[in-house]
Each structure stands twice: as C-alpha cells, then as structure tokens.
Amino acid sequence: MTTRTTTVRLPLEPALPVELAQELSQRVYFVSDTITGFSLVRSADGITAVDVDVDTETAVDPAGLARRINLMTANDLIGQRITEPKVVWRAAGSGPVTDAFDELVARGGAVEAGEGLIGVGEPVLSLMDHLDSLLRALVVEEFGAREYRYPTLVSADVLRRTGYFESFPQMVMSVSRLHGDIDSYRGFLDALADGGDLQEALSAHSGGFDHCLPPTMCFHTYHQFADGPLPAPSMVVTARGKSFRNESRYRRSLERLWDFTIREIVFLGTPEFVLDARGRLMERAYELVDALGLGGRCEVAGDPFFLNDTTAARAWSQRLLELKYELRLPLDGERDVSVGSFNYHEQFFGRSFGIGGAKGEPVFTGCAGFGLERFAYAFLCRHGLDPAHWPDAVRTAVAP
Amino acid sequence: MADAPTDEDKVLIRDFLDGHVHGVVVEDDEDLFASGLVNSLFAVQLVMWVERTYGLRASGEDLDFANFRSIDAIAGFVARKKALVGGDA
C-alpha cells in the first residue's frame, strides 16, 4: 500500500519574524494531525507561509488548515518577544560525536515498538540504570532528598489541578477502559466479532476518563502534599518513573519519545531555598557531565505552551525571567538534545495544590527532570557502543 | 554621568509597582521576582509599562532579566536607553 501525499501552502498573515521559526516549528504538527510533513517558507518579510504535506486519503482542506495555523500563530506566537539565546555553562567534551541510533537498532540495543515507543536492551538498559544511580546518589548526598516511587497512573482531577490541560492540551495522554457493565462488554465483543473495527468498538464501549498517564513525575509530589502545610520548612523529593507525552510526529529515535523515563527532583520551600537548590543541582549536573567525559551546554529555555490565552506572555516571561534552563548534549555534529531541565515555578503549584509554606503562604517550588533514555543516548553518541571506549568508571560499573 | 539612574525615574517605577505589591515596601535593590512579590507574568506588564512610559522599545539583549530584576535595575536600564536615544545629551 502506498500513501499519497500532497503539499499545500498555508499563508501566514501576518508574516512571522524568522526568530520565531523554532517556536512555530514545534507547534505545526499539533495544528492538525492530518499534517504529515512541513517546511517553512521564508522571504525578506520573514516567514510568510508553511508548506504542509497532507495525506490525500483524507479530505484535504487547505482553507481550513490555513485558518487553524493562523489561529495558532495569532494566539501563541505573535505576542511573543524574542529574547537573545543565553548560555550559562558550556564544555567542549572530547572527540567527535556521532549519532548512534541506527547502529543501536542494528545490534538490538533499541527496538522500535510503535510510534514514539522504543524498547531498550543492552547497553542502553544498564547505562540508564547507572546514570540514574549517579543522579540519585548525587541528590541524596547534596540535599538529603527523600525518594518515592509513584503509581504510573495519575488521576485526571490531579492533572487538572496542575493546569496541564490548559497549558499543554496537545500532549495529554488519557487512560480509559470499557464501561463496567456486562452488556457493554458483550456489545464490545460483538462489535469485534467478524473483524469489526477496533477503534470504533473501543469508542462505542469505553468510558471513564478519570485517569491519565503522567507527563512528568513532579505532579505526583504536589498531590502528595496537597491541601495542608508542608511537613517541613523545606523539602527535596526525588522519584523515578515513566512519563508520557503525545509528541505526535515530533517523535524521533531515543531523542523524543511518547513514553520515556524521568529522574525527577522536586524542591519545595521559600523562594531563596528553591532557587539556591536549583543552582546547586545545576552545578552538580555540570560536574557529572564533565566526569562522564561529555561536552554540552546549559541555556535558558522555554516550554511549548499551546493555545492558551496567556501562551505568548507565559512563553516569553518564562525566558525573560530564566524560569527554565536546559542541559543540552550533542548527538552529532549539528543536533543536540535536552537531557535535563531545571525549573522554577514560583507559587504556581503551591497555590493550585494548596500546599502551605512556613508562614502559611503558598509554598514555592522548583523541579529538575532528567530524561534517562536521552541521557544514555547522548552518552552513546559521544563514546560509542563499545564499552572499551567508555570512561573507566562507567565501564567498570556497567560492564556485563 | 549621562546614564545614571535618576530619583525621578525611581519614583515613577515605585508608583507603578505600588499598584501590584499590595502595600509591601520594596527596597531599591530588592529582587522583585525571586521574593515572590509579583509573579512572572507581571514581567510582561512591567516591560510594556517601561516601553509606554518612556517611549522606547525593548528588544533583543534588552530583554534580559538583569534589566528588570529590581527598581535599581529598571532605572539603570531606562537611563542607558535614554542616553542612547539622546546621543550626548
């Protein structure tokens, strides 16, 4: 079966400044899931259009797509101010960096299981565990962090309280189940009989959208301390767990997954405590990256807020106030990936979860998350798949 | 010195802040955002207020936290921008 696509030009009115290319690019696939590819059209006036590929097996609606993409640019992008890139740490690392993904797949170290879904074998598996153990030891030593292991599911009400639906509706992954009723189970099985369409049968007989897959671990922590005073003036909590985001067609190798593993560290307390702890963790992370023989940089970054009334203002105030930093490591001569982020939330979660600080005010929070698949992947792109070429300490710890 | 912050500017800035900090007395060198006096979305209002009040446009490297962190920082930023616009004034 061949899939036919056609390219449609969607004019942007008004044109966007070229500095917003990245902000635009990271939202195009979320404009409509009928878009299967795209490129930006640039002229002296800026970005004047987006050429999108659409599947001709679905009804192609250029006017409708143009309306949708302009709705997004008007809401999310036009009000943004462009801040200068700001790098706060940089290290060169040694030797060339070569994308290791294809070799990893060829050797069975990564197994493609579906869209944005990748299983990992050795050496990724042991390397992820080793990197996680280094991060865990580091935060226990530096902060006396308390560790928790949370359930994978998060209640939809908890996710609502985080504001995630309003900020990132495009990334939500919900969990449903069949209606809890014998007639429903029978109706479902009847619908499947004789090769009935599975999606139709599930849609007709499912209900109960009261759970979601967590997009990050820290939401569990705010819920844990919700509606009461924080048990101590300040706290540091760490957890490792599976996190899920609908990355749509932005999925790519181990670089961007729908389903991945985070080592998270959450800081709760006064603003001085949270900001100081975030800074200390960043310093420790740089030391770790150095010790692993990895080069990279840490820079001011932003989140892909989408379609909210305050998206543009939140996006550029986040960058202006340096609420988010990303630790980025190279994957080859050109591309890099964020293996960790260090975030300050002010009182956003303290307020929404009713967590009281020392004086009864909503507590201040911050968090850091390390993507373990990405971290291991960046390590392999730098040092290769053969443990003989790895730093001694890692080889000794990981060697099968 | 052409780009020294003026007391007049600091008074203007303080007047604007007073409407947003619920009567809290803000020191000239106090970090407005780290202390939780205002939230990050206020930064957008602050930048736009500075632009409107002084008839200037903040872009590129102007949009640095260091220029908006405190009353002193904002007054310093305004003074530098005025000096640029006014040439040798």
Is the domain of A143 the same as that of A191?
no
Name the residue range of residue A204's domain. 174-211
Please give the tally of structural domains in chain A. 3
A35-52 tens-digit pLDDT? 999 999 999 999 999 999
- Residue A257 has a pLDDT of 97
User: Mutate which of B44, B64, B77 to test chain A, going by most A C-beta atoms within 10 A?
Assistant: B44
Whichever domain contains A99, its CATH number is 3.30.930.10
At residue A29, φ and ψ (nearest 5 deg) are: -65, -25
What's the distance, CA A38 to chain centroid? 21
- In-domain check, residue A160: no
Domain with B14, as residue range(s), is 7-86
Q: Which amino acid makes up residue A400?
A: P
Is the CB of B2 inside 8 Å of chain A's CB atoms? no
Please give the pLDDT value at position B89: 40
The mean per-residue pLDDT over the stretch A340-352 comes to 97
In this predicted structure, the answer to whether residue A125 has a pLDDT above a threshold of 90 is yes
Q: Calculate how close chain B gets to A258, using CA atoms only, in Å.
A: 30
Residue of A nearest to B61 (CA): A84
What is the CB neighbour count within 10 angstroms for residue A220? Answer: 21
Q: Are residues A19 and A58 in the same domain?
A: yes
Count of domains forming chain B: 1
CB crowding A278-306: b at 16 or more within 10 Å, else e: beebbebbbebbeebbbbbbbbbbbbbbb
Neighbouring C-beta atoms of residue A75, cutoff 10 Å: 17
- Shared domain for A306 and A199, answered yes or no, is no
For residue A164, being part of any structural domain is answered with: no
Shortest CA gap B30–chain A (Å):
13
Query: What is d(CA A301, CA A323) in angstroms, rounded to the nearest whole number?
Result: 8
Mean pLDDT on B51-79 = 92
Whether residue A219 is found in the same domain as residue A204: no
Q: How far is B7 from chain A (nearest CA, A)?
A: 25
B57 contact A CB<8A: no
Per-residue pLDDT reduced to its tens digit, A298-327 = 999 999 999 988 888 999 899 999 999 999
In a domain, A369, yes or no: yes
CATH number of the CATH domain containing B81: 1.10.1200.10
Q: Give the pLDDT score at A208.
A: 86
CB contact under 8 A, A82 and B59: yes
Whether B43 and A84 lie within 8 Å, measured CB to CB: no
B63 touches chain A (CB under 8 A): yes
Q: Are residues A283 and A388 in the same domain?
A: yes
Note whether B43 contacts A346, CB cutoff 8 Å: no
User: B34 CB near a chain A CB, below 8 Å?
Assistant: yes
- Kindly state whether residues A205 and A135 are assigned to the same domain: no
Establish if A157 belongs to a structural domain: no
- Neighboring chain B residues of A82 at a CB cutoff of 8 Å: 59-60, 63
Most B CBs within 10 A among A82, A317, A322, A359, hence the mutation to make, goes to: A317
Would you call A84 and B61 a contact, using CB atoms and an 8 Å cutoff? Answer: yes
Number of residues that make up chain A:
400
User: Is B6 touching A (CB cutoff 8 A)?
Assistant: no
Residue B27, domain member (yes or no): yes
Q: How confident is the model at residue A25 (pLDDT cuts 50, 70, 90)?
A: very high
Question: Which residues on chain B are in Cβ contact (under 8 Å) with A319?
Answer: 63
Q: Under an 8 A CB cutoff, do B59 and A81 touch?
A: yes
**In the predicted structure, residue B2 carries a pLDDT above the cut 60:** no
Q: Which residue has the higher pLDDT, A374 or A333?
A: A374
The answer to whether residue A187 scores a pLDDT higher than 90 is: yes
User: Per-residue confidence at A2, pLDDT binned at 50, 70, 90?
Assistant: low
Kindly report, residue by residue over B16-27, the tens digit of the pLDDT.
998 888 888 889
Domain identity same for A232 and A194? no
Q: What is the pLDDT, as a whole number, of residue A120? A: 97
Whole-number Cα distances in Å, A91 to A85, A256, A329, A340, A376: 17, 23, 10, 16, 18
Question: Do residue A84 and residue B41 have CB atoms under 8 angstroms apart?
Answer: no
Please give the pLDDT value at position A14: 95
CB contact under 8 A, A321 and B43: yes
Model confidence at A198: pLDDT above 80 = yes
What is the pLDDT at residue B87?
55
* B88 pLDDT higher than 80: no
Q: Do A290 and A346 fall within a single domain?
A: yes
A9/A110 same-domain check:
no
Judged by DSSP in three states, B44 sits in helix
| pLDDT-derived band at A113, boundaries 50, 70, 90 | very high
What ipTM did this prediction achieve? 0.88
Instruction: Write down the pLDDT at residue A4.
Output: 85
Residue A54's contacts (CB-CB under 8 Å, 6 or more residues apart) are A5, A6, A7, A8, A34, A35, A36, A60, A65
Is the minimum CB–CB distance between B21 and chain A shorter than 8 Å?
no
Q: Which residues of B touch A365 (CB under 8 A)?
A: none
B63 contact residues in A (CB cutoff 8 A): 81-84, 316, 319-320
Average pLDDT over residues B69-88: 86
Is A323 in contact with B40 (Cβ distance < 8 A)?
A: yes
Look at strands A324-330 and A154-155 and give their pairing.
Answer: unpaired
